[in-house]
Structure 1
Amino acid sequence: MAAGAALAVGYLVADVTGGPWPVDAVGVQVIDWAPGAVKDWAVRTLGTADRPLLRVGICGVLVVVAAIAGLIGARGHPRAAVGIAGGLGLLGVAFAAGSRSAAGSLADRLLPATVTLLAAVLALWLVVRRSRPPREQPDRRGPALTVPRRRLSPAEHPEGFDRRRFLLTVSALAAVGAGAAGAARVVGGAGQELRARVRIPRPTDAAGPVPASLDVPGISPFTTPNGSFYRVDTLLQVPRIDPRDWELRIHGLVDKELRLSFGDLLGRRLIERDITLTCVSNEVGGPYVGNARWIGVPIADLLREAGVRAGADAVKSTSVDGLTIGTPLAALTDGRDAILAVAMNGEPLPFEHGFPVRMVVPGLYGYVSATKWLVDLEVTRFRDFSAYWTDRGWSVEAPIKTSARIDVPKGFATVPAGPAVAAGVAWAQRRGIAKVEVRVDDGPWQPAKLAPVDGVDTWRQWTFRWTATPGTHKLTVRATDSTGEPQTDRQAPPRPNGSSGLHNTIVMVE
């Protein structure tokens, strides 16, 4: 109870200050220290549940240690119990001091962990004092004569165990924890005002009408809603950045360093584009791909104004948490719609997707292009730096591979015999999808029907009608890009530069 109350108070302080909750500070360090194979397994197996499960795991360890400390204190060693609590608290402070899990100054990062430390020590001391058993009374009539020790009632010994006082203390801790957790929810909800105050101007260059989606139940819509858009990053605590305090620095191998406020960015030329993003962790047929309508400032405009010097071949982008990403300079200046996005599907960026500003670069996997919570762009050379993910075994450059996915029928679904339909999406950013084919069992490849083309940077929906006969069947899909290159059937895992292979699904027909 003491540990829970302290963590709840620390969570409230973290929400107020923007600093890291100690659990999250430890969690981010665990993520950074974890081997690449463990990260891959977590993304593949746990999906977006990896962060909450990591939090639960850390809290579970703390609960066990706190229970042990409580037992030690209740058995007559209160200083040892408090020492355990203080040691854990100091560990949290140390992790928070070096944490990249949240924005803010060093004081902002340290305050939640320090408050948690003090609250834990105080709460544990109080509850241990209330839970100590009554002391036994020796006979003091002489050294030679003793009688067996007996327990004293609270009336006989005022320092003995008082069940009522103990329960009141525990109830108070529970109330403090519940109150702090509830207040944190209120504060977190109030943070939405940061987005509500933002007004995105009309783009100078607007996108055309959204293509009509194919009318097939279960198929991915052309535009992925913000709430359904995949999220893969290394943070447990989503930054809450006040756009009034946000600033972007553009420097390095440039003729003129630029410093832009959020207002400066909104005052520049804005374009609106439909762009499909794909995570390099996406397995064949996986969920980490989505299409959205973005509004942002062309990065090429900003680099042109800064004046890129000869010899530069990369841009190192840095998130507010210190995570770095390296993007080929050519991908930002070759005419593609690489932007600093400020809006997603008609509204300011959600906090989870990089509010107030993130990068969106068509044709590259996100780990080399899609920096969220962006605060710094440095024009440089690949030989002069290494980025977070390339330090962990991923390729320096990573163009997105041609891929297709079956959305319906789902794997091992049962469908009635007769006319049936399969449907899904295919993508090959910067090249576009020219053809999608489906194979039933080991039969010939047959053409699927494609939805209208929106552009080379968005996915295309497809449908395939076939006659289902009783039994078990395997449907396999492959896409061909606009250059005529078909999707490879060679199986490859996501590491180091994206998965490959053909997606298939098993269907039972009755």
Structure 2
Amino acid sequence: MRTSRGWWWLSGVVVGALGLGISYLVSGLLRVRESPPVAVAESIRDISPDGLVEWAKTNLGMADKLVVWIGIFVFLTVAFAAIGQLARSRWWFAVGGLVALGAIATAAVVTRPSFVDLQLVPLVAGFVAWLVALTVITGAVRQWELVVAADDDATDPTHSRRRFFATAGAVGGLAAAAAVLGRFAGNPREEVERDRRLLRVDEVTKPTAPRGAKVDVPGVQPWQTPTDDFYLIDTTFVPPAIRVKDWVLRIHGKVQNEMTLSYDDLVARGITEDWITLNCVSNQVGGDLVGNAWWSGVRLAGLLAEAGPDDDADAVLQTSEDGWTCGTPLGPMMDDRNAMLAVYMNGEPLTVEHGFPVRTLVPGLYGYVSACKWVVDMEVTSFDEIEAYWTTRGWAEEGPVKIASRIDVPGSGESVSAGTIVCGGSAWKQHTGIESVEVSLDGGAWTPATLGRVPSDDTWVQWRAELEVEEGDHELRVRAIGKDGDVQTGVETDVLPNGATGWHSVEFSASA
């Protein structure tokens, strides 16, 4: 047998591609969000060790999902190549390999929180495509191999070789076509984007930044964060695409009155609007996982009061369409802060990535315990009765925002002119507010900064300070003092379990 084993490897890869393509196409036609590859990726996310998850968050950031996809692609390529090689001498072993891969995908699909029987159809279709393609393409390469092995001058292997390449090309072409059609067939994202374009909530207003909120320091990050620049942190591999007509929120659990709300039911209760700063518990000191926007939605306090929580309830387990959960303290959702089910961001309907059609906001709490995108379920409960996604991985049960401040100007490593320099940045402690900000040059005395004027304690505040600097290298530090008297500590701690602490500092140089 003198044909290269590489053709058997290629046969396995092409077979695998067709099955995946057919599965993806059927998922699109049936409007199944969690196609088998997505379900596998999210299962890998869920079973990954806590240490690995934290390492990925710290070192990979938003690229962590891309790394998982690359890993899955490499694994499948090697697995299908091995299956192709097994088919050369042990055809049933190759079938067993496909059964094993199908079993992994099936386990991933059926264990997802949003599993329905319909999601098994893409799996069956893909597996049948694997078996048919394996039979056809291995038959072609085997015929070619037998002709070559005969070494008969009267037998020309050209025909068999052409037949194999034609078969492999046809299977590969079908795989590519199925993938392309799956991308567009029944694409729910397109329908959702059309919903967004046509959506109108009359009470929503366009944002205008309050006069005096911005300080006159070029280079300081905007007080209002544009939606496209607002940080994105979530665990989903494919953002749920939920049409307005299909969205439903259930409020249940330890309540006197269970509630089920459609989108129209929700917005009919009246819109509240506010400037609210959000920040991620994973934000390092001086980091950029923080942003301020104009949010429009419906207050949670009224909804939960109507549901009537039991006396022993102290938490709300929120669940996203993709199965992600967070445990939110009940008190902050019902006190005087403007906790809301947000439907608009910066005067426009939420983007899909930011939680369209509805997400939760609770000022003063880190997002991992409060900011549930694509929210579809709220169970009023008690902390001692629930487990949530991040708290099972070592993060604190309740996540009140810690006081923080950041230097935007001068930038780290920047060179400035000696003499009077203007520095600036932002500080925040949502639902408490910032009383003052101070800066220190080269470890010297703390110098008060001038603060911008903000509409509430739930937003960050920009600060500005002027300093005299001599030629040479310098270090600038910043700290904030909250309206509750809390002085930002210089003790450095990591983000785990409840947010980083420490003073942000930048090193810069001054020259004549």
TM beyond 0.5: yes
* Contact 1:93–1:114 under 8 Å retained in 2: no
Residue 350 in 1 paired to residue 351 in 2? Answer: yes
Residue 477 in 1 paired to residue 463 in 2? Answer: no
- Give, in whole Å, the separation in 1 of the partners of 2:287 and 2:258: 41
* Number of the residue aligned with 2:203: 202
1:106 aligned residue (88, 101, 116): 116
SS in 1 for 2:85: helix
User: Could you give the per-residue CA deviations for residues 185-235 of structure 1, whole angstroms, max 9, x where no partner exists?
Assistant: 4434454223234222314x9977445534544422112222222222221
User: Could you give the per-residue CA deviations for residues 398-449 of structure 1, whole angstroms, max 9, x where no partner exists?
Assistant: 1100001223343334445555443322110011122222222222222233
Report the Cα offset of residue 179 of structure 1: 3.1
* Contact 2:418–2:471 under 8 Å retained in 1: yes
* Number of the residue aligned with 1:307: 308
Report the Cα offset of residue 30 of structure 1: 1.6
- Give, in whole Å, the separation in 2 of the partners of 1:10 and 1:476: 55
Report the Cα offset of residue 67 of structure 1: 1.8
User: Could you give the per-residue CA deviations for residues 263-302 of structure 1, whole angstroms, max 9, x where no partner exists?
Assistant: 1011111101111111111121222211111111111111
* Number of the residue aligned with 1:280: 281
* Contact 1:336–1:362 under 8 Å retained in 2: yes
TM-score by length of 2: 0.88
* Number of the residue aligned with 2:155: 156
Go from structure 1 to structure 2 and tell me whether the alpha carbon gap of 1:438 and 1:180 turns closer, same or farther (over 3 Å shift).
farther
- Structure 2 unmatched ranges of 5 or more: 1-13
- Structure 1 unmatched ranges of 5 or more: 139-148
Q: Which amino acid aligns with 1:162?
A: S
- Give, in whole Å, the separation in 1 of the partners of 2:452 and 2:26: 50
User: Could you give the per-residue CA deviations for residues 39-64 of structure 1, whole angstroms, max 9, x where no partner exists?
Assistant: 22211111111112211111111111
Go from structure 1 to structure 2 and tell me whether the alpha carbon gap of 1:496 and 1:118 turns closer, same or farther (over 3 Å shift).
same
Residue 406 in 1 paired to residue 407 in 2? Answer: yes
* Number of the residue aligned with 2:322: 321
Go from structure 1 to structure 2 and tell me whether the alpha carbon gap of 1:24 and 1:260 turns closer, same or farther (over 3 Å shift).
same
Go from structure 1 to structure 2 and tell me whether the alpha carbon gap of 1:416 and 1:109 turns closer, same or farther (over 3 Å shift).
farther
- Give, in whole Å, the separation in 2 of the partners of 1:217 and 1:85: 59
* Number of the residue aligned with 1:129: 139
Report the Cα offset of residue 378 of structure 1: 1.8
* Number of the residue aligned with 2:264: 263
* Number of the residue aligned with 2:8: none
Go from structure 1 to structure 2 and tell me whether the alpha carbon gap of 1:163 and 1:352 turns closer, same or farther (over 3 Å shift).
same
* Contact 1:405–1:426 under 8 Å retained in 2: yes
Report the Cα offset of residue 457 of structure 1: 0.5
SS in 2 for 1:199: coil
* Number of the residue aligned with 1:233: 234
SS in 1 for 2:60: helix
User: Could you give the per-residue CA deviations for residues 52-80 of structure 1, whole angstroms, max 9, x where no partner exists?
Assistant: 2211111111111112222333x344443
* Contact 1:206–1:272 under 8 Å retained in 2: no
- Give, in whole Å, the separation in 2 of the partners of 1:112 and 1:50: 26
Residue 87 in 1 paired to residue 90 in 2? Answer: no
Go from structure 1 to structure 2 and tell me whether the alpha carbon gap of 1:80 and 1:444 turns closer, same or farther (over 3 Å shift).
same
Q: Which amino acid aligns with 2:102?
A: G
Go from structure 1 to structure 2 and tell me whether the alpha carbon gap of 1:129 and 1:137 turns closer, same or farther (over 3 Å shift).
closer
* Contact 1:327–1:369 under 8 Å retained in 2: yes
Instruction: Map 1:41-56 onto structure 2 (within 5 A).
Output: 41-56=55-70
- Give, in whole Å, the separation in 2 of the partners of 1:283 and 1:120: 47
* Contact 1:403–1:479 under 8 Å retained in 2: yes
* Contact 2:451–2:463 under 8 Å retained in 1: yes
User: Could you give the per-residue CA deviations for residues 121-167 of structure 1, whole angstroms, max 9, x where no partner exists?
Assistant: 433443333333645589xxxxxxxxxx74357x7388x97332233
| RMSD, aligned α-carbons | 2.7
- Give, in whole Å, the separation in 1 of the partners of 2:409 and 2:141: 59
* Number of the residue aligned with 1:171: 169
Please identify which structure carries the higher helix content: 2
* Contact 1:348–1:356 under 8 Å retained in 2: yes
- Give, in whole Å, the separation in 2 of the partners of 1:5 and 1:135: 23
Q: Which amino acid aligns with 2:180?
A: G
Go from structure 1 to structure 2 and tell me whether the alpha carbon gap of 1:95 and 1:444 turns closer, same or farther (over 3 Å shift).
same
Report the Cα offset of residue 331 of structure 1: 0.6
Report the Cα offset of residue 338 of structure 1: 0.5
- Give, in whole Å, the separation in 1 of the partners of 2:315 and 2:147: 77
User: Could you give the per-residue CA deviations for residues 451-488 of structure 1, whole angstroms, max 9, x where no partner exists?
Assistant: 22221001112233444544332222111112232111
Q: Which amino acid aligns with 2:176?
A: A
1:11 aligned residue (4, 24, 29): 24
Q: Which amino acid aligns with 2:243?
A: D
* Number of the residue aligned with 2:293: 292
User: Could you give the per-residue CA deviations for residues 302-326 of structure 1, whole angstroms, max 9, x where no partner exists?
Assistant: 1122222322222222222333221
Go from structure 1 to structure 2 and tell me whether the alpha carbon gap of 1:161 and 1:434 turns closer, same or farther (over 3 Å shift).
farther
- Give, in whole Å, the separation in 1 of the partners of 2:48 and 2:428: 31
SS in 1 for 2:81: helix
* Number of the residue aligned with 1:145: none
- Give, in whole Å, the separation in 2 of the partners of 1:206 and 1:26: 41
* Number of the residue aligned with 2:362: 361
Q: Which amino acid aligns with 2:348?
A: E
TM-score by length of 1: 0.88
Q: Which amino acid aligns with 1:53?
A: V
Q: Which amino acid aligns with 2:360?
A: M
- Give, in whole Å, the separation in 1 of the partners of 2:126 and 2:471: 62
- Give, in whole Å, the separation in 2 of the partners of 1:189 and 1:175: 25
* Contact 2:112–2:323 under 8 Å retained in 1: no
Count of residue correspondences: 493
* Number of the residue aligned with 1:146: none
* Contact 1:324–1:387 under 8 Å retained in 2: yes
* Contact 1:425–1:462 under 8 Å retained in 2: yes
* Number of the residue aligned with 2:386: 385
* Contact 1:42–1:50 under 8 Å retained in 2: yes
Go from structure 1 to structure 2 and tell me whether the alpha carbon gap of 1:345 and 1:114 turns closer, same or farther (over 3 Å shift).
farther
Report the Cα offset of residue 336 of structure 1: 0.6
Go from structure 1 to structure 2 and tell me whether the alpha carbon gap of 1:156 and 1:37 turns closer, same or farther (over 3 Å shift).
same
Percent identity between matched residues is 41
